[in-house]
Amino acid sequence: MTIAVFPGSFDPLTNGHLDLIRRASRLFDQLIVAVGQNTSKASVFTPTERVAFIEANVQDLPNVKVQIESGLTVSFMRQKQATALVRGLRNGTDFEYEQGIAGMNRSLAPEIETVCLLADSQYQFVSSSLLKEVARFGGDLSNLVPPVVAAALVDRLESGRTRD
């Protein structure tokens, strides 16, 4: 059985993330969406909230599991016996960033292969910082995030609360 891990902060979960999850779920026997913490940014949602958002939107994908991870992704992958690391690429900047990470991961765990999926063109411009800015000023997020995420994001940003 081929197990893959799609790691990310998913803060917030976007339709672009969901597209990548759906596409990756067709490539592997099991896909684990690993919800982590971006230590360089303040989170809007807790890891538990992010897991709940993802689980609610992948119920129709029986080979997808969602789990919280901390620490090195390759350590998490070894624990789960995963051999493929899935990453999404929106543009050349993402490629350069992911290339460095893939090199480090290969150095740490040569048995793990990085698989990059190109973002669908309708999501190539979407980033969490842009979404947060649009939500903060009342812009329409309906085509960019699941409805439950849009409502929660607006509510959280209006209240001024963020989570770690």
Residue positions forming the annotated binding site for substrate? 9, 41, 73, 87
In which band, very low, low, confident or very high, does the pLDDT at 164 lie, cut at 50, 70 and 90? very low
Looking up tokens 């309906």 gives: 142
3-124 homologous superfamily? HUPs (3.40.50.620)
- Note the pLDDT tens digit of each residue in 1-13: 999 999 999 999 9
- Closest listed residue to residue 44, CA positions, set 112, 132, 106, 145: 132
Average pLDDT over residues 51-65: 98
Catalytic one of 41, 75, 136, 142: 41
Q: From the candidates 23, 90, 106, 163, which is the catalytic residue?
A: 90
Q: Which of 43, 128, 132, 156 is catalytic?
A: 128
Domain ranges of the chain: 3-124
pLDDT in tens, 59-101: 999 999 999 999 999 999 999 999 999 999 999 989 999 999 9
**Is there a catalytic annotation at residue 128?**
yes
Taking phi over 0 as left and psi of -120 to 50 as alpha, with beta for the rest, 140 belongs to beta
Please compute the mean of the pLDDT values over residues 31-35 and round it to a whole number.
Answer: 98
Query: Cα separation of 54 and 31, whole Å?
Result: 13
Provide the pLDDT for residue 161. 54
75 among known catalytic residues: no
Active-site residue, 163 included: no
Q: Is 41 a catalytic residue?
A: yes
